[in-house]
Amino acid sequence: MTVASLGLAAKGAAPALAASPVGVRNGALERMADAIEGSAASSILSANARDIESAEQNGVAPHMLDRLRLTQERLAGISAGIREIAAMPDPLGEITGMTRRPNGLLIGKQRVPLGVIGVIFESRPNVAADISALCIKSGNAVLLRGGKEAINSNIAMTCAIRGALAAAGLPEDGVCLVTDTSRDSATELMRLRGTVDVLIPRGGKGLISSVVENSSVPVIETGAGNCHVYVDSAADLDMAVDILFNAKCQRPSVCNSAESLLVARSIAHEFLPRAFERLSEKNVEWRGCPETCAILPSAIPASEEDYFTEYNDYILSCKVVSGVDEAIAHINAHSTAHSEAIITRDHPTAMKFLSAVDSAAVYVNASTRFTDGGEFGLGAEIGISTQKLHARGPVGLDALTSSKYIIFGDGQVR
Amino acid sequence: MTVASLGLAAKGAAPALAASPVGVRNGALERMADAIEGSAASSILSANARDIESAEQNGVAPHMLDRLRLTQERLAGISAGIREIAAMPDPLGEITGMTRRPNGLLIGKQRVPLGVIGVIFESRPNVAADISALCIKSGNAVLLRGGKEAINSNIAMTCAIRGALAAAGLPEDGVCLVTDTSRDSATELMRLRGTVDVLIPRGGKGLISSVVENSSVPVIETGAGNCHVYVDSAADLDMAVDILFNAKCQRPSVCNSAESLLVARSIAHEFLPRAFERLSEKNVEWRGCPETCAILPSAIPASEEDYFTEYNDYILSCKVVSGVDEAIAHINAHSTAHSEAIITRDHPTAMKFLSAVDSAAVYVNASTRFTDGGEFGLGAEIGISTQKLHARGPVGLDALTSSKYIIFGDGQVR
């Protein structure tokens, strides 16, 4: 099937999903969870084994193989995640702000699904299940287009999901998979304005910027995180060392890890050697401004490019600044507007930083690593939005909904 | 100045606007209102007279001349609108959902401006003032690009507005005007992703679809309204005639006027002649399906194209349908998802229509003409959004804001 006809199939399924009671949607999720770790597990695992074999033959790097690999334990994890989504409250139907206008009209705003959600993702085969579950819970149809390395896994996974939809009395086209993994199929999906209501890219920087540049379908941009930690002159330096170590080293491959350290000049001589020593536990490479390099002889000189770079690795860019104002200006000029932290005991400085830093999540005295749907108490998430329209920060179920005005009259005219 | 450098100027002004207290923003609005109808009125009116003169020389149609024309009375109307915006509550700063997480982090969501709002508009010179006022009130900078017919009026108007900003202690680059009215300048504005946070086209269908197709800046799409009235078999036919007449004829040039009538077969023979007679007061032209034409001999046969057309004129497309299900299917296939109405006394039918019609505003027993920020009690509006992302229906001050998460810790790490 062409991408366009798959889009129409998903669009055809959307009204039934939108109209279904939450019990029916949750029933489909429970069946999905059961199938993925139960009846469909062996077919998913053998399809995944074929993907792993091809990847090994193609010389795919070990960390990529690990992303691609499914095990019975990982399937159980996926199923547990789906059951958590089933247990969440229904994001649909709520009517807010219902008021009576002077002419007697009753006007309110009702929460409704977006319609058809397109997702372009790369190698992780769990994405098909996670995203489908969030879309079904929120009454949306979804059109998935995964990477070619995971095609067999994705086919087996969506087959199990479609079976669960049908068994629950919902149209199986509520979840459609584009099996053509050529670049053309992604381009075609980006032009399905009118059929697909929103497009969410899940993957690396190249994928995201290609979608953002080329899509005529509205995009929710997620993922890029050039996150900063600013250690103020009034910081508790022990706390600052702990937070920096956590933000940089606990899991450097993820988007909410820190990439850049800014440090106030007045404490740089005291703080930098201590931070350097602590981060040397993980052999972190430092790339610094001239002042940093003067204090830390083993630091490499940083280029302007370094301050824009999301390393996702044990590398840290560092710059000595005069104080909070220069820190704010540097962050707003270089960050991807994901997550930034200030470490300070000074209240006015903290409040200034909170107010002036223009990012999705701004922290006082805590690690940037907390920017996550689960940590924020929002439940499962689709990603971290770094755009300002529609959704900012962790993208949960609410972001997969829209609203419509409903108006009750008894013959009103203007 | 180039469009890109004007964008950077606006971006440079945005933080000061975002940080300014609401009293300062309101002060700027009051000064704007005073200047437009007072100290700057004569320069605005003489600039407008030059625009009118060129337009007349170029043979511009009378109704376009009327849109372009400013008078002292119209300036007073613009100023009154700005004072209304000044009187509205501050859309910024509110912190919602502040909760303490189990690890002690306090996490809340704060309402913040979008940043820089780009607006591409056509001939009406009041748009520059109306939109600037909404943007300033919501702490945003704005980059305006108006049509060439109104260029002198727009220059004079923004000059007055920039003076008011400066007098209020705000950066005058909070309102920037692109004076190059070539097509290239519009294209350049559509590519300023990273500088401009959202782009709003205000004008005809051609402008809107060009922006939607070509902009890499996120767009809020407003305006297109192919609105439907469905007269159900259980309708009060007197009410139905009144509502149809109002929806079609009260002001046919606007987006919330009705373009298409759907009527249940069982009452078509009774209803259509009555509706036809009433609409003949305004010489409405009917374009109908074969059944319509059989009942109304003077109706012209409708093409499939007619059912997709927003006439903005005294023309109505009409189709006889079997009942509410066919009406819903026809609307979801043909409408621009703006505003649709059902006329019925049957409660389950009304609720089915409300739930299944996928448009920004869905009415029971009232005219589609009410879809308007003022009528909905939202105050001044930027337009009616027909998209599902970020803003749907009348776009008010709230839609010009985003949110950011603010997090207070005392040393938390993961």
- Burial class of residue B152 in the structure, from the number of CB atoms within 10 Å of its CB (0-12 exposed, 13-18 middle, 19+ buried): buried
Q: Which residues of A touch B402 (CB under 8 A)?
A: 388-389, 392
Between the alpha carbon of residue A401 and those of residues A93, A94, A201, A397, B182, the distances in Å are 10, 11, 17, 7, 38
B74 to chain A, closest Cα gap in Å: 23
Q: Provide the pLDDT confidence category of residue B381 given band limits of 50, 70 and 90.
A: confident
Between these two residues, B275 and A221, which has the higher pLDDT value?
B275
Superfamily of chain region A227-374: Aldehyde Dehydrogenase; Chain A, domain 2 (3.40.309.10)
Cα-Cα-Cα-Cα torsion B229, B231, B236, B242, nearest 10 degrees, comes to: 30
Q: Do A404 and B362 touch (CB under 8 A)?
A: yes
Contact pairs from chain A to chain B, CB under 8 Å = 192
Choose among A148, A173, A140: nearest CA to A158.
A173
One-letter amino acid for residue B254 of the chain: V
Question: CA quadruple B335, B340, B345, B351: dihedral positive or negative?
Answer: positive
H/E segment holding residue A348: helix A347-356
Q: Where are the alpha helices (DSSP H) in B260-365?
A: 265-279, 290-295, 324-334, 347-356
Cα-Cα-Cα-Cα torsion A209, B211, B339, B265, nearest 10 degrees, comes to: -100
- The string of pLDDT tens digits covering residues A82-128 is 999 999 999 999 999 999 999 999 999 999 999 999 999 987 888 89
Q: Determine the 3-state secondary structure of B340 from DSSP.
A: strand
Cα-Cα-Cα-Cα torsion A364, A368, A373, A375, nearest 10 degrees, comes to: -70
Average pLDDT, integer, range B105-126: 93
Which of B214, B237, B386, B404 to probe the A interface (max A CBs under 10 A)? B404
Kindly report which listed range (B55-64, B133-142, B335-344) carries the lowest average pLDDT score: B55-64
DSSP state of B128: H
Residue A256 and residue A338 in contact, taking contact as beta carbons nearer than 8 Å: yes
Determine whether domain B3-222+389-408 maps to CATH 3.40.605.10. yes
Name the percent of chain B lying above pLDDT 90: 87
One-letter amino acid for residue B403 of the chain: S
Q: Which residues of B touch A107 (CB under 8 A)?
A: 376-377
Is the model's pLDDT at B377 over the cut of 90? no
Q: Which residues of A touch B109 (CB under 8 A)?
A: 393
Domain coordinates in residue numbering, chain A: 3-222+388-408, 227-374
* B101, B365, B404: residue with CB nearest A392: B404
A366 to chain B, closest Cα gap in Å: 5
* Alpha-carbon span B328 to B267, nearest angstrom: 17
Residue B383 and residue B200 in contact, taking contact as beta carbons nearer than 8 Å: yes
H/E segment holding residue B246: helix B237-249
* Alpha-carbon span A270 to A275, nearest angstrom: 9
Residue A159 and residue A41 in contact, taking contact as beta carbons nearer than 8 Å: no
Q: Which residues of A touch B236 (CB under 8 A)?
A: 411
Nearest CA in chain B to A335: B194
> What is the per-residue pLDDT for B205?
80
> What is the per-residue pLDDT for B371?
96
CATH of domain A3-222+388-408: 3.40.605.10
Name the percent of chain B lying above pLDDT 70: 100
Q: What is the overall mean pLDDT for chain A? A: 95
Kindly report which listed range (B156-160, B186-190, B288-292, B376-380) carries the lowest average pLDDT score: B376-380
Name the percent of chain A lying above pLDDT 70: 100
- The string of pLDDT tens digits covering residues B9-38 is 999 999 999 999 999 999 999 999 999 999
> What is the per-residue pLDDT for A363?
98
Q: What is the overall mean pLDDT for chain B? A: 95
pLDDT digit string (tens) for chain A, length 414 residues:
899 999 999 999 999 999 999 999 999 999 999 999 999 999 999 999 999 999 999 998 888 898 899 999 999 999 999 999 999 999 999 999 999 999 999 999 999 999 999 999 987 888 899 999 999 999 999 999 999 999 999 999 999 999 999 999 999 999 999 999 999 999 999 999 989 999 999 888 888 889 988 898 999 988 789 999 999 999 999 999 999 999 999 999 889 999 999 999 999 999 999 999 999 999 999 999 999 999 999 999 999 999 999 999 999 999 999 999 999 999 999 999 999 999 999 999 999 999 999 999 999 999 999 999 889 988 778 889 998 999 999 988 989 999 999 999 999 999
Cα-Cα-Cα-Cα torsion A30, A34, A35, A37, nearest 10 degrees, comes to: 130
Residue A391 and residue A359 in contact, taking contact as beta carbons nearer than 8 Å: no
One-letter amino acid for residue A31 of the chain: R
Nearest CA in chain B to A339: B405
> What is the per-residue pLDDT for A222?
83
Cα-Cα-Cα-Cα torsion A130, A131, A133, A138, nearest 10 degrees, comes to: 150
Question: CA quadruple A175, A401, A115, A3: dihedral positive or negative?
Answer: negative
One-letter amino acid for residue A172 of the chain: E
> What is the per-residue pLDDT for B54?
96
Give the pTM.
Answer: 0.90
> What is the per-residue pLDDT for A303?
97
Strand residues in A213-252 grouped as ranges (E)? 227-231
Q: Which residues of A touch B333 (CB under 8 A)?
A: none
> What is the per-residue pLDDT for B204?
80
* B242, B243, B412: residue with CB nearest A367: B412
DSSP state of B372: S
Tokens representing A260 are: 């850049």
* A18, A107, A213: residue with CB nearest B376: A107
A292 to chain B, closest Cα gap in Å: 24
A361 to chain B, closest Cα gap in Å: 5
* A358, A388, A412: residue with CB nearest B367: A412
Q: Which residues of B touch A402 (CB under 8 A)?
A: 388-389, 392
The CATH T-level fold of domain B227-373 is Aldehyde Dehydrogenase; Chain A, domain 2 (3.40.309)
Within 10 angstroms of residue A151's Cβ, the number of other Cβ atoms is 20
The residues near A160 (Cβ < 8 Å, ≥ 6 apart) are A32, A35, A36, A39, A40, A43, A44
Which of B94, B98, B407, B408 to probe the A interface (max A CBs under 10 A)? B407
Q: Provide the pLDDT confidence category of residue B382 given band limits of 50, 70 and 90.
A: confident
Q: At what angle do helices B41-57 and B22-37 cross, to 10 degrees?
A: 60
Residue B149 and residue B55 in contact, taking contact as beta carbons nearer than 8 Å: yes
Within 10 angstroms of residue A61's Cβ, the number of other Cβ atoms is 9
Strand residues in A265-396 grouped as ranges (E)? 285-288, 300-301, 315-321, 339-343, 361-366, 383-385, 393-395
* Alpha-carbon span A380 to A23, nearest angstrom: 19
